[in-house]
Amino acid sequence: MSSIGEIVSSTILWASLSTGVVLMPGTLIAYLLARYNFWGKNIVSTLTSLPLVLPPTAVGFLLLQTFADDGLLGKLGLDVLLTWKAVVIACGVMSFPLVIRTARVSFESVNPRLEQMARTLGYSSWQTFFTVTLPLASRGLLASAVLGFTRAMGEFGATVILAGNIPGRTQTLSSAIYSAQQAGNEEQANGLLLIALAVGFLAVFLAEKLSTPKQEVTRR
The pLDDT assigned to 217 comes to: 38
The pLDDT assigned to 1 comes to: 54
The pLDDT assigned to 37 comes to: 87
CATH number 1.10.3720.10 is the correct assignment for the domain at 4-211: yes
Give the angle 180-64-175 at the CA atoms, nearest 5°: 10
Would the CA dihedral through 194, 195, 196, 202 be positive or negative?
A: positive
Q: What pLDDT band is residue 220 in, cutting at 50, 70 and 90?
A: very low
Q: How much of the chain exceeds pLDDT 90, in percent?
A: 35
For 100-142, the pLDDT digits (tens) are 999 999 998 888 888 888 888 887 888 888 888 888 888 889 9
CA 56 from chain centre, in angstroms, equals: 14
The pLDDT assigned to 24 comes to: 92
For 8-50, the pLDDT digits (tens) are 888 999 999 999 999 999 999 999 999 888 888 899 999 999 9
| Other Cβ atoms within 10 Å of 121 Cβ, number | 9
Reply yes or no on whether the pLDDT at 94 is more than 90.
yes
Amino acid letter, residue 150: T
Residues 6+ apart with CB under 8 A from 121: none
- C-alpha span between 203 and 95 (Å, rounded): 14
The pLDDT assigned to 21 comes to: 93
For 158-201, the pLDDT digits (tens) are 999 999 888 888 899 999 898 888 888 888 888 888 988 988 88
For 41-78, the pLDDT digits (tens) are 899 999 999 998 899 999 999 999 888 877 777 667 77
Residues 6+ apart with CB under 8 A from 51: 59, 93, 94, 96, 97
**Helix (H), strand (E), coil (C) string for 61-112:** HHHHHHHCCCCCCHHHCCCCCCCHHHHHHHHHHHHHHHHHHHHHHHHHCCCH
Q: What pLDDT band is residue 219 in, cutting at 50, 70 and 90?
A: very low
Model-level pTM? 0.86
